[in-house]
Structure 1
Amino acid sequence: MRLSPVSDPRPFKIPESVLVVIHTPALDVLLIQRADAPDFWQSVTGAKDFIDEPFEATAAREAFEETGIGAQLGVLTDWQLENIYDIYPRWAHRYAPGVTRNTEHVFGLCVPDGTPVTLNPREHTAFCWLPWREAADKCYSPSNAEAILLLPQFVR
């Protein structure tokens, strides 16, 4: 894997990621506010660490890294949905030259009411639990909002 510019020794991000909609049985959804974009509220997202990392492992790892919520605290469900989208220009530098699109695999993680949240302050500065429709309205990303609007179909 080629390394990014000298100022950043980390490898380029793999353009395969997960979106994890963390929710309660009552369909309250956890949203987190990005540290690098305060107007950007979202569900948990993150790229694979290595190309062969299973999406389920990526989803569990990202949920824990970003919120402190371990997948074992709830039920992680693969929604068998993928979003393919153009990478936002503000984050294009994280990907190898010429990479412009990302494939995102969608999961739900149902956790008990009152599940504590511990944010990674390098990534997120605030969180809120909102009823699913309000959470969809608050999301910056259209694909994230669409996934939240599908939530009732996956908890029947």
Structure 2
Amino acid sequence: MDETIYKIPESVLVVIYTPQREVLLIRRADAGTWQSVTGSKDHGAESWAETAIREVHEETGLDAQHPDCHLQDWQLENVYDIYPAWRWRYHPEVSRNTERVFGLRLPQKMPITLSPSEHTEWQWLDWQAAADHCFSASNAEAILMLPRYLSEPAP
């Protein structure tokens, strides 16, 4: 009996930013590419928001539920083919992933605590430069939508 634990093909993308339009990017340890926080659900019943909160904490050490922070579900989903290099992580019959996009507004740039097994560096960049640095087109597109979310008031 195959007891392989496969990744769930449902993930989040969390654009972490400040009111000054500075965006946090982290460099993947396995590929060397720059990205926002991403990660898959741990189990099918985990909500998108729970996944976003967990992944932000695991990858950056930040608390997305802190009163000075504002996590917002941008109500966007990207569906894409899983890169061949990472297909082994998923069930053999799975070839596409659904990614839910969130924004996390911080009051200002904050220090980051990376998970060294996942990421090697972090940097804060102006939003347009951050979009240019991203490997993933969906990540770059999400960052380029940032100005529309900056105009919305915090709850």
**What is the TM-score of this pair, normalised by structure 2?**
0.93
**Aligned counterpart, 2:50:** 57
The answer for the alignment partner of 1:142 in structure 2 is 137
Aligned with residue 8 of structure 2, among 8, 14, 30: 14
Name the aligned partner's letter for residue 31 of structure 1: L
* Cα distance between partner residues in 1 of 2:134 and 2:74: 19
Q: Which residue of 1 aligns with 2:3?
A: 3
Query: Helix, strand or coil: the match of 1:71?
Result: coil
Q: Does 1:93 align with 2:88?
A: yes
Paired position in structure 1 for 2:113: 118
| Matched residue, 1:7 | none
Aligned pair partner of 1:109 in 104, 110, 113: 104
8 Å contact 1:3–1:12 — kept in the other structure?
A: no
Matched, 1:70 2:70: no
Q: Distance in 2 between matches of 1:48 and 1:145?
A: 22
* 2:128 matched residue in structure 1: 133
Q: Normalising by the residue count of structure 1, what TM-score does the alignment of the two structures yield? A: 0.92
Aligned structure 1 segments of 4 or more residues deviating by more than 3 angstroms: none
Contact 1:19 1:44 in 2 (8 A): yes
Q: What is the number of residues matched between the two proteins? A: 148
Write out per-residue CA displacement over residues 31-55 of structure 1, whole angstroms, 9 at most, x where no aligned residue: 00000011x1000000000001010
Q: Percent identity?
A: 60
The two structures, once aligned, show a CA RMSD in angstroms of: 0.9
